[in-house]
Structure 1
Amino acid sequence: MRRILVVDDEESTRDLLSLSLQSDGYEVLCAEDGFSAMEICANHPPEIVLSDIKMPGMDGIELLRRLKHLNKDIEVIMITGHGQMELAIQALQLEASDFINKPISDRALSVALRRAEQKIWMREKLREYTENLECMLKQATDEIRKRYDFEHHLVHTSMDGIIVNDREGNIILFSEGASRIYGYTREEAVCGLKVTSLYPEGEARRVKKLIYSQEYGGPGYLVNYETTARAKDGQLVPILLSAAILYEDGEEVGTVGYFKDLTEVKELQARLLEQTRLAAMGEAMAEVAHGIKNILYGMKLGAYMVEKGLIQGERDRLEKGWQMVRTNMERIARLSLEMLDYARGESRRREAISVNAVVSDVCQALEKRAQEEGIRLERELECDLPFIFGDSEAFHTCVLNLVTNAMEAFGEESVDKRVKVRTFVKSGRSLVVEVTDTGRGIAPEVQDRIFRPLFTTKGARGTGLGLAITQKIVQEMGGIVDFHTTVGRGTTFTLRFPLTKSE
């Protein structure tokens, strides 16, 4: 009778699972939290743990880590709720044997337990086989044949794919797990298939090169490398590959590869990404609605003043009201255009961009405004800069946004108003654009939100999309945008674009 531990902070769930598992012949222990579970595991070790993923105190992820540290052979099945796909993926990566969703169905529980039982059975048999290996080696030919049959059974019943090929790439072992991934029968693979045909064009050569490198486990090994397999029907299958060079008498004779199908994990990640995208879209729509409501309120107030001014013949009220209407019309037009810029797809234009030319154009366009506002606009441009590649109009928007923001960073108390734009190449690897101001700086409590769409510290003067658009464009061009700020002393925004050898 196997011992199973149920960990859940809900008593009703523990009672229900306990009754169901006892009727299936398990010895059942229960714990109301992770700490109680660890104490039970130390004194009465279970073979299987069924744990809720969300619990107060110690959650299921932390409990999983501690259980695997205590005994890596404990099989842990996680219970997840709606919207917890990210935690489920994390649990699988931490070697949970499976996960099931709430409300728990008998079929899902049965399948998860059967998988855990199979892994325990195979591990027990493998341990038994290993312990008796020395004795088996001393037995006659019949015993050696039994050993071979058992090894063969272990290889071909593995849930993961196992493939062995010789130095010429001929497949000499192809497990049933490999057949499930690739769609080839064992006979089809061994009788004529080359291992290169199991990958997209050129990927087999890359894998071979990585095995000899230091990058994934050291020379002769490849550990947990994500790549793509090409199945018999031409479909591409995401896999996690580990491999090792096989030697005989010090000479390389072949390669063994272990393949884990990542299709289900990738599907879970895609579902999580879609849920995150929808949540972000909802949050953005709420922010847009709030911003437009404020603008419409301003227009309504201005229209009221215009109406009263017309009725009462008060020209001052009429002009003030019309100014409010016009200002808010400009705000909603600017918000609409910037929302379109932010929502547009990635630009397909890729042209050589002279960074200094764009910076000079922006500075010249803002020179008059800078003089009127008492701001010294400076340029320090390194000569003979290499080109960067992308959409030149979009890059112009980036620089314009940053310089405009810098010019708006000064308060009434500011005395030394300076904005400086620098361009230079750093260490021969990246082209850098810096925009520095001596303004108020950015308050610590908002620094992690400045690139968030529709977040603004400018009140009615800002739309909250300038920096979000800048970040999006820079990332599309392969660069990064960052900033450094000191409250009361100013801010520096930095754009970095990597330089290729051809540049």
Structure 2
Amino acid sequence: MSTKKLLLVDDEEGIRRFLGLTLMDLGYEVETAENGESALKAIPEISPSIILTDIKMPRMDGIELLKAVKADYPHIEVIMLTGHGDIDLAIESLKFDAADFITKPIDDEVLEISLGRVMEKIELKDKLREHTENLERLVEEKTQRIIELERQNAACQVVEGLSEALSSAAHEVETGSGLFNELPCLVSIHNRYLEIVAANELLKERLGDVVGKNSFDIYSDRETPGNACPVQLTFDTGKGQRSKETFIGKEGEEIPVTVYTAPIPNKNGEIELVLDISVDMTELKRLNDELLETQYKFQRLFDEAPCYISVQNRDFTIAEVNRRFKEDFAEHLGAPCYASYKHRERPCDECPVQRTFQDGESHQTETVVTTQNGEQKNMLVWSAPIRNAYGEIKQVMEMSTDITEIRRLQDHLTSLGFMLGSMSHGVKGMLTALDGGIYRLESGLRKNDQERVTEAAAVLKNVVGRVKKMVLDILYYAKSREIEVETVSATHFLRDTAALIVPKAVAANVQYSVDIPEDLGNIDVDSSSMSAAIVNFLENGVDACSPNQPDRKYKIDVSARDLGDKIELAISDNGAGMDRETKEKIFTLFFSSKGKRGTGIGLFISNQTIEQHGGRIQVESEPQQGTTFTIMLPRKVENKKAQQSIPCS
């Protein structure tokens, strides 16, 4: 912070200008503010050493500014400017730690003297602070030095006591008596020539009479002094060693041990002997090998199980998954399960994992998931609790079995009757509409009322179209059949198909635009099934734009492009759109986002039709932003029924 930086506060612009020039002539870096509030806002950025402020100001006067500055910035010195009539206020300001006050009109010499005194005060405070900091640092250094000396003294005492204890232990081992002969450890004493000079009874029992042998002789992988054993390392470094080693038993067997060595100094502080205490790890190694083998077996079962397995925490984050899960869904450890492979923003309704955490029981549900390759699978999900040694549920295992093929067979065997039953009311309504249309047609003919006849014909045409679509959906679903392709003009076929939806778009007040070029060439299609498939996408687009929002203009765009051996058809709308979960399930049988207005088979059949033609569908959608279906159709369809050429009209 610069000690020559000053903030001038006065509500009169003239005073700020001329007094500011005077202060700059005196060598100060000057910033100004028109009132107390502006000054407080500017202080953090300016960081002044001195504030020169008028007492009488609107909004916040000088006394209030002084109090605020001293509360938040006690190191800043404040000089008050006052008129002769405000002398009492100026004196009062001294009670609140103002550095000085100057009366108006301001005498330059008085101003310079006052500022000089304040600068001396600031410099004195800086020197005092620096001296205090140096003194504190010196005290800290001396304190640390005293603590270090005390630690060294304590360490020396510990070393002396340890040396005495080790010497006593060595004596007990040599004489064959005392605590170390009672310990269930292999204890030996080694001299500086790397010779074993003493051993306890347990070591002799396990390794034989090793006294007099080289220190490295008892190790299975040490043959010469050049391959340093823990005893030699202790002599070389002067420090105790800890390592996992292997001893050679008296029958030649290998004994895994953990070796601890400690130096034993003489009175001169030189290492005279080394104490070797080794713990037999044979049983521990056996148990560890069994544990590893068991873990391997369980891991192999975990990975090879013919289902997807994940272990989840209470917050639904994935803690572990098996190999099959990793292959199809990638490894999202630490991520929530509902986001990783169900692509949801919150836990599923009736989540079996959550229910297992709540009641400790296994639960079952059925769902649809999407793999990382975009493949949709029907899954039968089971949950099971994972408990700790105290019976507390720490995690839950979720096992998901792929039942896609089973569900597909069940659907083909049983769903037709269910579908017909669910459509009965719709069929009844259409029959009623047919009766009404026929009645209006007959009435119009009898009365020779052409307008009534036209209206009746429109009603009949609409109802017949709906009946046709429903019957075709049922037929396509109920009986799988080969498509009967024919070569047609792609331009005429797509334009004629797009035109079928115009009346519905007009009735729904949806803007409808078609951009299909003239020169798309020919394409092999089953005209009936492909037209129905495309109309399904178009009708879904109109439905997505209903009901209309008064302040929004809805539209559907249909366009086509020539991609050489393929034709791309794009159908876009700016309607309701879909979230990711809905988008991934729209081609699933009986899934509908329209509620009772949808059967859930239209898009399923459309997708099948396009796949039969060797095509594919790409879906892009965002909630409230709209949806785009991009359909890629090959010009030639292979391995289908013989084609017939249809001349272009």
TM-score w.r.t. the length of structure 1 is 0.38
Larger Rg: 2
Comparing both chains, which one has the higher relative contact order based on Cα–Cα distances under 8 Å and sequence gaps of 6 or more?
1
TM-score w.r.t. the length of structure 2 is 0.31
